[in-house]
């Protein structure tokens, strides 16, 4: 073109942005700046801010911000909205709020952008505060603000405020808009108002795959997997709606929880097998504790030519960690490196967890140290790893270092820190962090935090204070905290307090094998044989047996798991022959066949097999 004006430059830059070629868009904008006959206006600046957001070129975006201020183009609502969205993409929510507050004019897009940015950053209360301000303005509401506000209500379990938003939806006649209706249904179910959510779902005049998936996911989340399956079958039978990837993911999860993995396999065969269906099936077996099946399906997936994605590998790493098969975990790590997925935050934290659980804290710390910029998830995983390996000083030092780097801790990382204090017996430091999360970071301790403090008190031998903390917890007591106290009472010989703890557990779970076995042992230890006999008879009548331990072994890239007395393995005959030989050589009388002995016997067979 012999003559280029602002319109032609804007058109070419916008074309590149639309094609997601943001780097070229920024190159053309730089060339436009040096064209003497062309001036930058609000339209081209808005598009260029979008290019900066797409490419995550924060340095260019900040320079452009300064240019917008200098040229007064920031007074344009379109430029301001684009700048706001750019900072939101960067995760720089403080900058977004500052830009928003300085904007002289705001429209519906501007308000929706700041609300969305806050909610996506986990600052749900602030997002609802801005939504409340928006609701008082006339003519600025659009249908995109409602789903974001409802999502914030769901995250905060604020059903009361959610109902107020529902009223706004009705008044503004947005209820017929499908994505708003779906968000309302999800808000009710995630706030625990399942019946209200179901009533709203049934009243919807139109339903899409999102509507059905929301209900299926809700049923699966609250443990009503049978209803999740029935809803899925109803969708397939009564409508022409086709399930999507999220629908299948929820169904695979429900099937795994029901231990109906055959159904999961049928679902897998029902759809075109893609990486999502493979991944969810692998994850389902992983959640069900069937690690061998996870690796088997992963092998089949690779043979089918499906390329793993970032959601596939964490399940395999989780299985590798839980089964303590280090070599298998290393192979998954090598695959992540080959596919260029090792920088993914979820995979990185899964690698740290896997190496820690497999006993290789050095490799775990190496993965963490190679992280360009540690996030809260990786940091939590590393602190957990240090604590589990008795390196509590390193865990505390790492946490203190993160605080000095201005990384805001979340509730999960405080659980890890309190756990580290518990493992190292640092009672005073544990209470320091327990108070810090409340006083400085305004976090209300969850029952998991109280559980860590109970464990800390028990390890310190302060059983009376531990029992008092349990009784004063603002949360509903579960069997976890009482079990912690029970085990400590058994170790310290506090029979009376142990009896009370066992009784509390049995009130919550009458078939708890831990409570019944420990209670019987407590009675026996103090000579109350009659009471111990009654407890054991009660166990027999309820069919309660102590859950057997298990172990695994990796031979020739194949993971095999065993429980005590296991005869399911195809080579069980040979395994027991080797075990009997070992027993006879050792001249030992073995009353019970332990799972570790089975594992070792199988290892001997496989190693000796040419």
For the stretch 403-456, pLDDT in tens is 888 778 888 899 999 999 998 889 999 999 999 999 988 888 888 899 999 999
SS3 555: strand
The boundaries of every CATH 1.25.40.10 domain in the chain are 446-547
Joined tokens for residue 244:
């999507």
| Alpha-carbon span 341 to 109, nearest angstrom | 35
The answer to whether residues 150 and 186 touch, using CB atoms and an 8 Å cutoff, is yes
Q: Which pLDDT does position 459 carry in this prediction? A: 92
Q: Which pLDDT does position 122 carry in this prediction? A: 80
Q: Which pLDDT does position 397 carry in this prediction? A: 94
> Long-range pairs for 472-479 at CB < 8 Å and ≥24 separation?
473/447, 475/446, 475/447, 475/450, 476/447, 477/504, 477/508, 478/447, 478/508, 479/504, 479/505, 479/508, 479/509, 479/512, 479/515
Eight-state DSSP code of residue 160? H
The answer to whether residues 337 and 343 touch, using CB atoms and an 8 Å cutoff, is no
Q: Which pLDDT does position 591 carry in this prediction? A: 41
Q: Which pLDDT does position 563 carry in this prediction? A: 58
The answer to whether residues 398 and 382 touch, using CB atoms and an 8 Å cutoff, is yes
Q: What is the pTM of this model?
A: 0.54
Q: Which pLDDT does position 466 carry in this prediction? A: 94
Residue 608 phi, psi dihedral angles, 5° rounding: -75, -20
198-226 confidence digits (pLDDT tens): 999 999 989 999 899 999 988 888 888 88
Candidates 1.25.40.10, 1.10.3720.10, 3.90.1260.10, 3.30.70.141; correct CATH number of 446-547?
Answer: 1.25.40.10
552 DSSP β-pair partners:
561
| Alpha-carbon span 100 to 118, nearest angstrom | 12
Instruction: Enumerate residue ranges in the chain where pLDDT < 70.
Output: 1-2, 138-141, 245, 249, 252-253, 255-277, 280-281, 284-285, 287-289, 542-573, 576, 579-580, 582-610
**H-run or E-run covering 597:** helix 595-608
Span between the terminal Cα atoms of the chain, in Å: 75
């Amino acid at each position: 073109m012999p003559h280029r004006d602002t319109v032609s430059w804007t058109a070419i830059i916008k074309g590149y942005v639309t094609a997601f070629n943001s780097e070229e868009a920024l190159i053309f904008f730089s060339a436009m700046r040096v064209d003497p006959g062309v001036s930058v206006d609000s339209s081209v600046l808005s598009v260029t801010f979008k290019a900066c957001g797409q490419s995550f070129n924060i340095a260019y975006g900040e320079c452009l911000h300064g240019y917008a201020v200098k040229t007064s183009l920031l007074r344009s609502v379109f430029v301001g909205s684009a700048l706001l969205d750019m900072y939101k993409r960067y995760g720089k929510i403080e900058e977004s709020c500052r830009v928003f507050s300085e904007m002289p004019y705001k429209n519906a897009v501007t308000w929706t952008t700041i609300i969305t940015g806050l909610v996506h950053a986990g600052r749900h209360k602030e997002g609802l505060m801005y939504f409340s301000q928006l609701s008082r303005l006339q003519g600025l509401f659009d249908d995109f603000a409602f789903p974001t506000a409802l999502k914030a209500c769901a995250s905060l379990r604020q059903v009361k405020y959610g109902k107020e938003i529902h009223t706004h939806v009705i008044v503004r006649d947005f209820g017929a808009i499908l994505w708003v209706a779906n968000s309302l249904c999800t808000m009710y179910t995630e706030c625990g108002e399942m019946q209200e959510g179901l009533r709203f779902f049934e009243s919807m005049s139109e339903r899409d795959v999102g509507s059905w998936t929301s209900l299926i996911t809700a049923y699966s989340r609250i443990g009503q997997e049978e209803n999740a399956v029935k809803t899925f079958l109803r969708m397939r039978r009564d409508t022409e709606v086709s399930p999507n990837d999220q629908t299948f993911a929820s169904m695979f999860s429900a099937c795994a929880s029901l231990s109906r993995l055959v159904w999961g396999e049928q679902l897998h065969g029902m759809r075109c097998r893609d990486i999502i269906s493979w991944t969810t099936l692998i994850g389902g077996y992983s959640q069900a504790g069937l690690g061998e099946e996870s690796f088997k399906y992963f092998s089949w997936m690779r043979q089918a030519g499906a390329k793993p994605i970032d959601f596939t590998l964490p399940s395999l790493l989780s299985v590798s960690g839980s089964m303590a098969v280090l070599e298998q975990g290393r192979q998954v790590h090598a695959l992540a490196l080959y596919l260029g997925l090792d920088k993914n935050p979820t995979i990185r934290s899964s690698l740290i967890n896997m190496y820690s659980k497999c006993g290789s804290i050095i490799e775990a710390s190496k993965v963490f140290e190679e992280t360009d910029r540690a996030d809260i998830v990786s940091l939590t995983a590393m602190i957990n790893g240090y604590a589990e390996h008795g390196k509590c000083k390193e865990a505390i030092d790492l946490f203190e270092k993160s605080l000095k780097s201005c990384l805001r801790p979340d509730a999960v990382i405080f659980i890890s820190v309190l756990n580290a204090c518990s493992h190292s017996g640092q009672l005073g430091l544990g209470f320091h962090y327990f108070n810090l999360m409340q006083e400085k970071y305004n976090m209300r301790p969850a029952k998991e935090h109280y559980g860590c403090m109970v464990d800390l008190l028990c390890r310190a031998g302060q059983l009376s204070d531990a029992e008092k903390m349990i009784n004063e917890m603002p949360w509903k007591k579960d069997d976890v905290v009482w079990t912690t106290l029970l085990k400590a009472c058994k170790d310290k010989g506090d029979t009376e307090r142990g009896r009370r703890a066992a009784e509390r557990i049995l009130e919550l779970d009458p078939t708890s094998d831990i409570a019944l076995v420990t209670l019987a042992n407590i009675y026996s230890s103090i000579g109350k044989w009659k009471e111990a006999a009654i407890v054991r008879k009660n166990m027999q009548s309820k069919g309660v047996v102590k859950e057997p331990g298990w172990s695994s072994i990796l031979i020739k890239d194949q993971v095999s798991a065993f429980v005590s007395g296991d005869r399911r393995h195809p080579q069980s005959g040979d395994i027991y022959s080797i075990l009997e030989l070992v027993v006879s050589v050792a001249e030992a009388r073995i009353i019970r066949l332990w799972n570790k002995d089975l594992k070792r016997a199988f290892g001997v067979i496989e190693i000796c097999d040419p």
